[in-house]
Amino acid sequence: MTKKRQDSIPAGKVKRASKFLSTGFKVGGNYVKHYAKKATGGKATQESLDEANAEDIYGLLSELKGSVLKVAQMLSMEDQMLPMAYQERFALSQNRVPPLSGPLIKKTFMKYLGKKPSEIFDHFSAEAKYAASIGQVHKASIGDENYAVKIQYPGVADSIQSDLKIARPLAAKLLNLSLKDLDYYVKEVESKLIEETDYVQELSQGIYISQKCNHLDGVVFPEFKKDLSSEKILVMEWLEGPSLKDYIEKNKGTDRAGADQIGQALWNFYNYQVHQLGIVHADPHPGNFVITSKGDLGVLDFGCTKEIPEHFYNSFFALINQEVLDNDEMLEKYLIELEIIRKNDTADTKKYLIEVYREIIGMVAEPIIAGRFDFSDRSYFEKINNTGQALSKDKKLKKIGTARGSRHAIYINRTYFGLYRLLHMLGATVDTTTFINKTEISEA
């Protein structure tokens, strides 16, 4: 089935704001219909309301593309952030967004490379192989060499700040956060989204990480074509194979050895970066990986990386140590350094936060402390999910305030929760001691 193509993307604050306003009216209408049905005795479930709202909101995001669609992609990876209807609809943003039309593609090539695709490549697929939040990917070739050509959507970088500002009320409503709490994190997200639109930087990051990690067993990287790339077009070697998502859907439960091999490669790839390089590929969703015919993990996207400051690293990973978790004084010290506990908090608040974070950190650190962990364990993830649900409704925590924690934790938490989720989807058992220097951590 041919995907519907998009001939233009709304540009400018007024046009994009009007799209948000129009969708706001649609969502408001859905609420009116919902409550009218309930008032007249009809069947009106929260699930049906969520489905209607999710469809309208996703329609808006897929048309606007860019930062707002990227945030939707991020939220679709978080099981406890949104109702299921939103998760399922927003998950489409991972690689199934309506692609751009041919004329827009040619226009982008002429603007940034001065040539049409046909003047650069022997063959260039008119149909996008993947279309996601920031750009879309086409397959091309020169002679016997196949390439992935990533083309950024027009206007994405210019609209990030205004889009996030316009989307604040909608995001706060979906996430059940106050605007003040939401704004606490927006700057870090905004800076990373701006970085993701710089393909020159992504090329540099991709070359750096692939060179530093090319010794890892079971992990392969594409070669980048610097001479064919620009700030809005990125060309790299085409890695053949199904996406990690497609691999999981086809093989889950039938190839345990393969799942364990891929899971170990994922674990090693991420933890080598975090603990040895101090920088990490911070976008662990299944559309960013392929599985080659040899069963290797191919890494595709390097747009979102996070440098980890040494002071943050030392405090954050000190919490893995069971001795720290069992000692109130030590735990409080690191929670203060991580900006979770504030020095002016009352003794009661400090005590409560220590109890809450001891439970949270203990669960998250469990696979690492165990040394070897079966991520197919459904009960482990149910425990995390149930705890998350309970804490989201905790009146005492709401009173204390939700906007706590270092901004550096946003993408590190996202990386590890995303990694855990991928390993759970695979049903993999992995050695979790690799590349974690426990001596340094225990002495932190």
> Does the residue 264 lie in any domain?
yes
Same domain membership, residue 416 and residue 335? yes
353 and 432 co-located in one domain: yes
On whether both 365 and 292 belong to a single domain, the answer is yes
Is the full-model pTM beyond 0.75? yes
Q: Does residue 335 lie within any of the structural domains?
A: yes
- Residue 261 CA to residue 297 CA, distance in Å, equals 9
pLDDT tens-digit series, residues 406-417: 889 888 988 998
Looking at the structure, tell me whether residues 170 and 258 fall in a common domain.
Answer: no
Q: pLDDT digit string (tens) for 78-134?
A: 444 444 444 444 444 444 445 677 888 999 999 999 999 999 999 999 889 987 677
Q: Are residues 279 and 426 in the same domain?
A: yes
pLDDT value at position 332?
97
* pLDDT for 143: 97
With a cut of 70, which residues of the chain have pLDDT below it? Answer: 1-99, 132, 167, 170-177, 184-185, 401-403, 436-444
Residues 35 and 164 in one domain: yes
Question: Is residue 263 located within the same domain as residue 407?
Answer: yes
Residues 167 and 249 in one domain: no
Same-domain check for residues 165 and 260: no
In a domain, 210, yes or no: no
What's the total number of domains in the chain?
2
Nearest-angstrom CA–CA distance, 218 and 202 = 23
Residue 35 in any domain: the answer is: yes
What gap in Å lies between CA 109 and CA 103, rounded to an integer?
A: 10
Query: Residue 344 sits in which domain range?
Result: 240-444
Query: Is there a domain that residue 132 lies in?
Result: no
Nearest partner of 401 among 222, 130, 235, 177, judged by Cα: 177
Same domain assignment for residues 169 and 283? no
* 8 Å CB contact between 145 and 240: no
Task: Return the pLDDT at 57.
Answer: 57
Helix axes 67-76, 156-175, angle to 10 degrees: 40
Do 378 and 160 contact (CB within 8 A), yes or no? no
Q: Residue 372 falls within a domain, yes or no?
A: yes
User: Cα separation of 85 and 93, whole Å?
Assistant: 14
Say if 246 falls within a structural domain.
yes
Phi–psi pair at 299, nearest 5 degrees: -100, 125
Q: Say yes or no: 318 and 435 in one domain.
A: yes
Asked if 410 and 191 touch (Cβ cutoff 8 Å), the reply is: no
> Is there a domain that residue 62 lies in?
yes
Q: What is the pLDDT, as a whole number, of residue 21? A: 44
Residue 254: the pLDDT is: 85
| Whether 353 and 276 share a structural domain | yes
Q: Tell me which residue of 120, 116, 123 sits closest to 138, measured CA to CA.
A: 123
